[in-house]
Chains A and B, each alone.
Chain A
Amino acid sequence: MSREESQKKKVFDAEAASFLMKELRGNVGSGTTRSYEWRVSQMKALLKLMDENEDHIVDALRSDLDKPPLETVVYEVGMLRNSCEVVLKELKHWMMPEKVKTAIATFPSSAEIVPEPLGVVLVISAWNYPFLLSLDPVVGAIAAGNAVVLKPSEISPATSSLLAKLLEKYMDNSFIRVVEGEVDETTALLQQKWDKIFYTGNGRVGRIVMTAAAKHLTPVVLELGGKSPVVVDSNVNLQVTARRIISGKWGLNNGQACISPDYVITTKNYAPKLVDALKTELENSYGKSPLESKDLSRIVNSNHFARLTKLLDDAKVSGKIVYGGEKDESKLRIAPTLLLDVPRDSLIMGEEIFGPLLPIITVNKLEESIDVINSGTKPLAAYLFTTDNKFKEQFVKTVSAGGMLVNDTALHLVVHTLPFGGVGDSGTGAYHGKFSFDAFTHKKAVLYRSFMGDASIRYPPYTNTKLRLMKALIGGGILNIIRALLGRS
């Protein structure tokens, strides 16, 4: 094999990670990434990458997840395109120092907040939206002027390898690299001192990332998950509600999305109506044999298939399946499944489902749903369907979640003027739009003072007059200042 090939075959170990870091730090020192032109060129390169390779991206996602082409084009490619366009439109504005007012405490002075790149950052991505969740943070990192190493998920290998190939071809390799691999490679990367680590995935690995970061005092963004609840009131447009729940659940990678509705809470009385509506709309969307529907992703791998099967096989939920439940292990497919009245201590209610199973819990009064949600960890998203304004406001006020939608699901992902991130167990930090830029930026406080206007009250020797004057200045009011000067306060 050629020298390049043998080099590629080399294991990415601690030494390789250290070498990579040294190289990137050296390159960053040149100042290239700080220029507006460089950042714009990389955005344009990414857009070109997408324009010329959409088919390959669709194929990779079909290989990894059997993802319907429309989902790939709209959610993975379309959203990333949007992110790039937003950067191209707004970057100049984001890069500008923000002048801030100064007060009497520092008078006379002028001040500004100057955004600067953090340096060399690490993005660790997930397997469910392997294209988007890899490149959306990378867009933020580049927009903010950093060098970035991307570690895509090995659980979506076709996309991982496509990303490695395409980024090498289209992007500036002096500053943007992809490292493929599994636990060993990730561990090697995590041993290095990064200026920021951006991780998308689950809480278990999130803790590993944060532990590694703590050794180097590296700030992190953790985009995790949780059980995103959907509360459904009885005063809603049931057809639209059902469609929107379906769209956010099975329409997003067949439930394998961090913001997919995880479970539903509704009243005992209303549950049968909701179930019927869901059944009708599910059939409208996916036909009579959804297991074969081309409009649904498959389960990513046999591990997750087994995990989901276990949730369905749990003795506590047998007999609770009211729709679906069909499985095809050879094709790693599970049909959209509804479960009604699952017990709170069942397996399916104990962990994030991340699959096409939708349990429905019933309560006597809808207000109880708030207690149900608050008794668990804070989710990444919470959804409420209601036309009762009072309940709406109570919900918004008392339920804590990364983000919330009233009368829809998942859409906030698309609004780039909203911060996308978790709270508590669902994560820390946020991104999208300017929040991506900010996530990879250090906001440097800059204070300009002149040698004029030197207040001697600051300096020793300390006297009572100086103390009086200081008090007057803080207390405010010109009268107090005059009094202090005249020695009268």
Chain B
Amino acid sequence: METELNHMREYYEGGYTKEASWREAQLKGLRSFIIEKQEDIMNALLQDLGKHQVEAFRDEIGTLMKTLNLALKNLKKWMSAKKAELPKIALLTSAEIVPEPFGLVLIISSWNFPFGLSLEPVIGAVAAGNTVVLKPSELSPACSSVLASGLATYLDHKAIKVIQGGPQETQQLLHQRWDKIFFTGSAHVGRIVMSAAVNHLTPVTLELGGKCPAVVDSLSSSWDIEVAVKRIAVGKFGTCAGQACIAIDYVIVEKEYCSKLVELLKVWIKKMFGENPKHTKTISRIVNKHHFFRLKNLLADAKVNESVVYGGSMDEQDLFIEPTILVDPPLEASIMTEEIFGPLLPIITVGKIEDSIKFLRSRPKPLALYVFTKSQTLQRRILSETSSGSLTFNDAILQYAADTLPFGGVGESGFGMYHGKFSFDTFSHHKAIVRRSFLTDFWYRYPPWTLNKLQLLEVSYNYDYLGLLLVVLGLKKPSNRRHF
């Protein structure tokens, strides 16, 4: 492995990846891959996760296309130097910030959106001119395999490699020297990644998860309520069966409106996923037995089981779990302390909707916070009194598709961000460059130090041009400084 990586470094040092033409070729290659191999991609997703092709397109293929088009359109702009404003006293000097690639980067991806979460960072990394090693998740092996063959075929294999494997391969990779590591996954593994990065002082981006709450206020219009319920249903059950870092984890609603919400959810779950969701195949599968049993165990607790008001049926053979709703399970139960990552939706009731703010503040900062309300007061309060990676009003998941918004966590949900230009920036070192001329040289920069020189330096650094003139002309009185 070390030899392979050394070759990649040598290739990077050759300077090829820094050329705009190389980067464009890679982005176009990725686009061709997604267009030409779409069927393979969809089949792999169906195989690994039972993901419906429309969901696959909506959440992975479509978003990647959008990102690729954006990157191709803006690449030159992103690569260009940005002039930095200088004070007027800086005669014949120019300053700019130039983005440069880090070098060799490692991207560790996740199993739930194996194409999206692998390739969105890869797009950023190659657009920024880096060489890349991608380690897709072994829990989505069909997708991992399509990625490996696809990238080898469509991209510059000397600069972009896919290394498949499990925890052992990941450990091996983490022992190597990287110029940047981009990790998507759990907080537990995130700690391992960051600790490994210490050795070489490698900068990291950690895209983790958490319990993403949806606060649902009372909505008066029946149209609004219906739209809200649909968005909640698809934001939970319709997004890889809730196995998404930004899926709605649980709902908070006023006691008064709880039963109405539950009734409407039941209606729309049936409309969206059919009377028999296992057979309509519109809901994704649980990825493997380990997670299936993890989810099953969340309902094992008697009190939690009692709180189930809808669904609950599971099929180990098919790794299927029905959309399930719970009302007020105990807050100390695992289902309310751990990230659920599955199609179980607890609804927590509060007296007044404003109480949700205190509830949210007492918990770790989530990757996403969703609030369904038309009250501007509540919107303002939640915006300023809570913290989360992102905050979306009256919808869920969609923020993922917004290129102009940074996508990333805060606190327990991670640090760093990407999407759109933020992807490019996250894989770039922003180098400051100042160019000076020999002509403008101020004698007061140099020792021996005198009070006069001190004054001159002070006024120049504080950009006090008038002061500068007065001191030079001997017209400004020296201030009372005893150390001279």
Contact = CB atoms under 8 A, between A and B. Distances in A.
Interface of A: 29, 31, 34, 55, 58, 68-70, 73-74, 78-79, 81-82, 85, 100-103, 105-106, 109, 111, 113-114, 116, 118-119, 195, 203, 206-207, 210-211, 213-215, 217, 219, 222, 224, 236-237, 240-241, 243-244, 246-247, 251, 281, 284-287, 293-295, 374, 387, 392, 396-398, 400-408, 411-412, 414-415, 417-420, 423-425, 427-430, 442-451, 454, 458-463, 466-467, 470-471, 473-476
Given A217-B414, A446-B391, A400 B482 contact: no
Contacts of A466: 54
A118 B410 CA distance: 8
Contact of B390 (A73, A414, A445): A445
Interface centre among B417, B438, B481 (most CB of A within 10 A): B438
B98 A396 contact: yes
B282 interface: yes
Interface string B163-175: 0000000000000
Contacts of A447: 390-393, 395, 398-399, 402, 405
B55 interface: yes
B405 A111 contact: yes
A295 B414 CA distance: 47
A106 B272 CA distance: 21
A214 B391 contact: no
B483 to A, nearest CB: 4
A82 B283 CA distance: 58
A210 B482 contact: no
B13 interface: yes
Interface in B210-261: 221, 223-224, 227-228, 230, 233-234, 238
B387 A444 contact: yes
Contact of B436 (A405, A442, A473): A405
B345 to A, nearest CB: 16
Given A444-B391, A460-B272, A462-B282, A423 B102 contact: yes
A446 B383 contact: yes
Contacts of B437: 407
Contacts of A114: 383, 391
B457 A446 contact: no
A73 B447 contact: no
Contacts, number: 297
Contacts of B430: 419, 430
Given A102-B404, A116-B387, A462-B53, A82 B462 contact: yes
Contacts of A243: 441, 445-446
B353 interface: no
B394 A400 contact: no
A73 B444 CA distance: 14
Nearest to A238: B438
A269 B159 CA distance: 40
B84 A417 contact: yes
Contacts of A217: 187, 190-191, 194, 206, 208, 411-412, 414-415
Contact of A424 (B179, B206, B221, B403): B179
A397 B384 CA distance: 43
Given A69-B483, A443-B406, A449-B398, A402 B201 contact: no
Contacts of B398: 105-106, 109, 447, 449
Contacts of B399: 106, 445, 447
B475 interface: no
B424 interface: no
A429 B230 CA distance: 42
A454 B223 CA distance: 10
Given A247-B445, A429-B203, 7 more contacts: A100-B405, A210-B198, A407-B437, A444-B410, A447-B402, A462-B52, A476-B69
Contacts of B392: 446-447, 449
20 contacts: A82-B461, A82-B462, A118-B410, A210-B201, A211-B198, A217-B412, A243-B441, A284-B446, A400-B103, A405-B435, A407-B435, A415-B84, A415-B90, A415-B432, A417-B86, A418-B432, A429-B203, A445-B389, A447-B390, A461-B274
Nearest to A102: B402
Nearest to B205: A219
A203 B201 contact: yes
A132 to B, nearest CB: 12
B18 A78 contact: no
B15 A398 contact: yes
A103 B62 CA distance: 14
Interface stretch (B107-115, B297-305, B448-456): B448-456
B452 to A, nearest CB: 11
Nearest to B416: A219
B97 A442 contact: no
Nearest to A466: B54
Interface residues of B, number: 109
A101 to B, nearest CB: 6
Contact of B484 (A69, A246, A460): A69
Given A102-B402, A113-B406, A418 B201 contact: no
B263 to A, nearest CB: 18
Q: Dominant SS at the B interface?
A: mixed
Contacts of B410: 118, 442, 444
A74 B430 CA distance: 27
Contacts of B97: 418-419
A460 B273 contact: yes
B279 interface: no
B13 A444 contact: no
A68 B445 CA distance: 14
B318 interface: no
Contact of B198 (A207, A284, A417): A207
A69 B449 CA distance: 9
B438 A237 contact: yes
A462 B390 contact: no
A247 B432 contact: no
A461 B230 CA distance: 12
B57 interface: yes
A390 B274 CA distance: 68
A119 B361 CA distance: 12
Given A414-B461, A460-B238, A460-B273, A450 B194 contact: no
A372 to B, nearest CB: 14
A471 B78 CA distance: 27
Given A195-B411, A470-B57, A471-B62, A73 B458 contact: yes
Nearest to B52: A462
A451 B216 CA distance: 13
B231 to A, nearest CB: 8
B320 interface: no
B462 A74 contact: no
B66 A474 contact: yes
Interface string B266-283: 000001111000001011
Contacts of A237: 438
Nearest to A371: B13
A213 B433 contact: no
B230 A459 contact: yes
Nearest to A415: B95
Contacts of A215: 191, 195
Nearest to A287: B448
Nearest to B379: A448
Nearest to B384: A34
Nearest to B361: A29
Contacts of B384: 31, 34
A406 B86 contact: no
A194 to B, nearest CB: 11
Contacts of B201: 203, 206-207, 210, 222, 224, 424-425, 427-428
Contacts of A463: 54
Contacts of A116: 387
Nearest to A209: B198
Contacts of A247: 445-446
A404 B15 contact: no
A235 B8 CA distance: 37
Given A210-B201, A251-B446, A286-B447, A451 B390 contact: no
